[in-house]
């Protein structure tokens, strides 16, 4: 029987999320560039790979092999990467196609089954097509419904990252994609850049109080709480 939560690779983030990444739901990380989102995605991927499972990683912003090697532990990274299925879509339409193609990997019964699906980020390519208006938002919502369906069907956690939107009228920062993306994500963590450090804040969770947080610094091998 599978454990209901999958470790993020960070004990502090696991605690913030009530044990780790929950299966059958979407967990969203959002924040400005260089706030730690991608590093934590790589940490979660490496942790899953070390457990002998496979990971689907859809990267829309440019996957860093060097950074993965650092986080995964240097010399052992190449062996872990054998079970990392990397997709790098170049446009919004291709992003949707690669989500669909992921099901073939999830369905396969192999020695190292897929146990985590990551999309970093869900909205980078969406942002490039915002001029098309509501149709782009409809497609984004469709992609997220599809990826949630995969999470439920194959009993895996999904981790997505999101860029930020500054609402000047309401004087708040939120994730892109509006209420649709916020609603479909059952756990949401925001990441903030401080003076030389970062802060992770729980914004939404079904069983944990909002506002829980911890501060950390980004290191060569991941993150350290401070």
What are the pLDDT digits (tens) for 158-199? 999 998 877 666 666 777 777 778 999 999 999 999 998 999
46, pLDDT greater than 80: yes
Q: How confident is the model at residue 128 (pLDDT cuts 50, 70, 90)?
A: low
Q: Label the pairing between strands 222-225 and 213-219.
A: antiparallel
83, pLDDT greater than 90: yes
3-class secondary-structure state, position 138: helix
Distance between CA 217 and CA 58 in Å, rounded?
Answer: 25
59-73 pLDDT, tens digit each: 998 999 999 999 998
* pLDDT recorded at residue 110: 81
For residues 218 and 199, the answer to whether their CB atoms sit within 8 Å is: no
Distance between CA 36 and CA 34 in Å, rounded?
Answer: 6
* Mean model confidence pLDDT for the chain: 91
For 41, counting Cβ atoms within 10 Å of its Cβ (0-12 exposed, 13-18 middle, 19+ buried), the class is buried
Distance between CA 9 and CA 15 in Å, rounded?
Answer: 11
For each of the domains in the chain, give its residue range(s) and CATH number, in order of start.
5-225 (3.40.50.300)
Residues 6+ apart with CB under 8 A from 30: 37, 161, 162, 163, 164, 174, 175, 176, 188, 189, 190, 191
1, pLDDT greater than 50: no
Q: Which of 90-99, 108-117, 124-133, 145-154 has the lowest mean pLDDT?
A: 124-133
Distance between CA 65 and CA 46 in Å, rounded?
Answer: 12
pTM summary value: 0.93
Residues 6+ apart with CB under 8 A from 140: 122, 123, 126, 177, 180, 181
* pLDDT recorded at residue 56: 98
* pLDDT recorded at residue 193: 94
* pLDDT recorded at residue 179: 76
134, pLDDT greater than 70: no
Show the tokens assigned to 34.
Answer: 């260089």
Distance between CA 128 and CA 156 in Å, rounded?
Answer: 29
138, pLDDT greater than 60: yes
């Amino acid at each position: 029987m599978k454990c209901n939560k999958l470790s993020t690779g960070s004990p502090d983030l696991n605690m913030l999320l009530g044990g780790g990444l929950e299966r059958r739901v979407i967990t969203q990380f959002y924040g400005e560039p260089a706030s730690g989102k991608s590093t934590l995605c790589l940490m979660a991927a490496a942790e899953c790979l070390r457990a002998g499972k496979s990971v689907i990683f859809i990267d829309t912003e440019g996957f860093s092999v060097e950074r993965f090697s650092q986080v995964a532990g240097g010399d052992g990274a190449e062996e872990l990467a054998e079970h990392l299925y990397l997709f790098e879509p170049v446009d919004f339409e291709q992003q949707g196609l690669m989500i669909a193609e992921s099901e073939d990997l999830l369905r396969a019964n192999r020695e190292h089954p897929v146990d985590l699906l990551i999309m970093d980020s869900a909205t980078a390519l969406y942002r490039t097509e915002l001029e098309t208006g509501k149709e782009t938002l409809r497609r984004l919502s469709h992609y997220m419904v599809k990826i949630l369906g995969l999470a439920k069907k194959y009993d895996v956690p999904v981790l997505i990252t999101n860029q930020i939107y500054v609402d000047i009228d309401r004087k708040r920062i939120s994730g892109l994609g509006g209420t649709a993306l916020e609603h479909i994500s059952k756990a949401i963590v925001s990441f903030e850049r401080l003076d030389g450090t970062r802060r992770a804040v729980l914004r939404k969770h079904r069983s944990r109080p909002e506002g829980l947080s911890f501060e950390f610094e980004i290191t060569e091998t991941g993150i350290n709480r401070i």
